[in-house]
Structure 1
């Protein structure tokens, strides 16, 4: 089940982030994620399976640029590779499609995950070594909304 984030989910999401650290996130990103949940959430969704939070991901909007950004994606390690991330991404792309004036979607990810987004139609735009932390490079990707 995909549903909107509520503040009651915060501790479970921080735990989910820790489960994905250091493989996909750097330890120092935890405070950034907590601040995001407290101050910068626009649309953020969680995935529950049998009452357990197993994934999450958000959207931020930049209407002046006609742009939406996929943000803070994470899936519980025991549930990766089961299609949950794809379902969550498709859900968010549908939400973005319903927003007037948005015609481009970007995602900022790492070298570890960019191929996941590539399969959906995102194209690599730029990379920056050690952007998130040592060993976690920025892979910025872009996709016209018309492809959704």
Structure 2
């Protein structure tokens, strides 16, 4: 009997095609096709901390953190989980990993997540509270659900 290695590690540029493919597999249920360009721009120019959940040699999830130190805020960003692996705790582990990382940062008072109507209940279970809703924010039929959590 052998054990499949699972870990959360820092994103590498070589992970880019696999992360883009994760997003594609979540279209149209969780993302609009137009968001692929946004993810590419994020990975190329806007990413600060980004992590991947790896099982064996396959990336099954990804998610990032962006920092706004002047506001003492961090934002959880671009969470994506392989559709066939959803419901198995990968999203929860990735989210908790980043919350734990932020818990060590005394300069961050608030954690924000901007999600859609499709996944806001997941973040609610993780302890985030709904702050505002904006219709058709991401794309037509994809509404913004902005949620916050106190850090520490």
TM range (shorter): over 0.9
- Separation in 1 of the partners of 2:118 and 2:38? 20
> In structure 1, what is the equivalent of residue 114 of structure 2?
108
TM-score, normalising length: structure 1: 0.97
Correspondence 1:85 to 2:70:
no
- In the TM superposition, what are the counterparts of 1:1-148 in structure 2 within 5 Å? 1-146=7-152
- 5+ residue gaps in structure 1? none
Count of aligned pairs: 146
- 5+ residue gaps in structure 2? 1-6
Runs of 4+ with deviation above 6 angstroms: none
- Separation in 1 of the partners of 2:127 and 2:53? 23
- Separation in 2 of the partners of 1:33 and 1:114? 19
Deviation of 1:40 (Å): 1.0
Deviation of 1:134 (Å): 1.1
Deviation of 1:45 (Å): 0.1
TM-score, normalising length: structure 2: 0.94
Deviation of 1:97 (Å): 1.3
Q: Secondary structure at the match of 1:81?
A: coil
